[in-house]
Amino acid sequence: MTIFTKLMSLFLLMAAIPALAADCIPFTDAPKKIDETVCVTGKVVKVNSSGRSGTMFINFCEDYKKCAFSVVVFPKDVEKVGDVRALEGKNIEIHGKIKEYRGNAEMILEDPAQLSGPVTKLPPLPKNYDVENQGKYSPGQYDTPKKPDPGKKSPDVAPPASTSPPK
């Protein structure tokens, strides 16, 4: 690849970034785009997790029940996406299909490539983060089995039955 080709590719990429950002709609307009694949932008106010399932919710309003739009990260995708808690207080751009769930607009975040703009890479989850318990518990340590104590008597076990045929 020549230097000219590299520079031209870089120029085209730089020219495309503002165009992509211009296509983002504010999160308040998301309900008008149900079943469409779009870019949504807004400031993340709070990141919550459900107590039972470990599903993460990225909210753009203090009261998520009254909010026009939210983003959902299911437990199976949390490790791949990264620590979404780092999004709190930041403006984000997220690409994907807007779906309706219980009368609200939402988008499912399942791949970090869906994020663009100021926040494109999230930190990894802490090593002791447990999706099921939202980081409250460590997955534990593996200990090697202890060797039996030679001085300790093992419990009495009946001898195996004879395999010889009766006489």
Question: Looking at residue 125, what is its pLDDT?
Answer: 67
Contact 34, 100 (CB under 8 A): yes
Question: Looking at residue 56, what is its pLDDT?
Answer: 92
Structural domain span for residue 114: 21-122
Is residue 143 situated within a structural domain?
Answer: no
Contact 78, 130 (CB under 8 A): no
* Rounded Cα distance, 87 and 48, in Å: 11
Question: Looking at residue 53, what is its pLDDT?
Answer: 83
Number of domains in the chain: 1
Question: Looking at residue 137, what is its pLDDT?
Answer: 40
> Which residues does the chain have with pLDDT short of 50?
4-21, 134-143
Question: Looking at residue 122, what is its pLDDT?
Answer: 73
Question: Looking at residue 20, what is its pLDDT?
Answer: 43
Question: What tokens does 18 get?
Answer: 């503002």
Question: Looking at residue 150, what is its pLDDT?
Answer: 66
Is residue 130 situated within a structural domain?
Answer: no
Q: 97 - beta bridge partners?
A: 37
Question: What tokens does 34 get?
Answer: 């149900």
What is the dihedral angle through the alpha carbons of 145, 135, 73, 85, rounded to the nearest 10 degrees? -140
* Rounded Cα distance, 157 and 159, in Å: 6
- 109: domain CATH number? 2.40.50.140
| Helices within the chain (DSSP H only) | 3-22, 75-81
